[in-house]
Amino acid sequence: MKERSENEKVAIVIIAVMVLIVFVVLVLYFTGVLSKNKPSANIIVDNAVFFKYEGKKWNLVNKKEYSDINWSKVTVYEEGENIGKLSIFSNDGKWYLFEEKGGERTPVKAVGDSIYTGGRIGTKFIKFEKEEVNRDDIKYIHKVLDYYKISRDEQNKYTYRYKVSYDFDNDGKKEDLFVVSNMFSDEEIENSYSFIFINNDGKTKMIYNKVYKGNMNMGGCYSYLYGLIQVEKSEVPQIVTKCSYYSVSLENEYGLYQFSRNNYEMLLYSKEI
């Protein structure tokens, strides 16, 4: 009986170890360690680019890999408004939205500016409001553009000029993000420009700056704030920018930035610059 009892104990230990191994494997699988589809935050902008946050790194996903997330759920934001969760599908480098009800899939057409968020890592969509610049803001804008040797006459031919206030660096205080440009003017301009920068207690933190020489006001692109998001457990928000061309034959450009090491770091850009 004693020998049988010891065998039973050994069997119990073996079973316990096997159960533990199965449990660990399942945990590793569902947390993505042993799974092909690791936990990620998927950010699709304008049906044009796919930013993925995975393993604490940001990547620009190739169109050939879009199908990896086919039929997954995304939250769709159009013109800054949440229109709900929809299923997403791609087979040609473009995204298609579907509403699933009663086992049937109905196509849904996205209208206007859009951002889709999905994945097992949560993403907060931050709604923002554009504000008119005031006199003090204009003085600061002049100071910044003077640095880039743009004449006051060209500076004052604004086509776009506004600010957005938000705590972009998580210091407990709001900063002003400025979008300033004279692109797409009806007049001939020697120096066309497009800037996105932040005023942090009088100090300039540049996000995007481009000056075009030689009457390029219809040939260059106008860069502006397109969206604000914050991936789960990240300390600061991510800034999504879009650079639009006047000509529809040219592809728009998209950037992803965030505050890091006392500056605004470009995480990803859809085109080499």
pLDDT value of position 55: 92
Cα–Cα distance measured from residue 134 to residue 173, given in angstroms and rounded to the nearest whole number: 19
Q: Which residues of the chain have pLDDT under 70?
A: 1-13, 16-17, 19, 21-37, 272-273
pLDDT value of position 34: 47
Q: Specify the pTM.
A: 0.84
Q: Note whether 254 and 192 are within 8 A (CB).
A: no
pLDDT value of position 135: 92
pLDDT value of position 75: 97
pLDDT value of position 35: 47
pLDDT value of position 112: 77
pLDDT value of position 183: 94
pLDDT value of position 272: 59
Per this entry, what is the length of the chain?
273
**DSSP states of the chain:** -HHHHHHHHHHHHHHHHHHHHHHHHHHHHHTTSSSSS--EEEEEETTTEEEEEETTEEEE--GGGGGGGTT-EEEEEETTEEEEEEEEE-SSSS-EEEEEETTEEEEE---SSEEEEESSS-EEEE----B---HHHHHHHHHHHHHTT--HHHHT--SEEEEEEE-SSSSSS-EEEEEEE-TT-SS--SEEEEEEEEEETTEEEEEEEEEEESS-TTTSEEEEEEEEEEETT-SSPEEEEEEEESSTTSPPEEEEEEEETTEEEEEEESS--
pLDDT value of position 99: 95
pLDDT value of position 87: 96
Beta-strand pair 49-54/40-45:
antiparallel
Residue carrying the six token digits 């002049």:
142
Question: What does the radius of gyration of the chain's CA atoms come to, in whole angstroms?
Answer: 25
What's the pLDDT tens digit per position in 30-65? Answer: 544 444 568 999 999 998 899 999 999 999 999 999
User: Angle at the Cα of 269 (from 131 to 206), degrees rounded to 5?
Assistant: 45
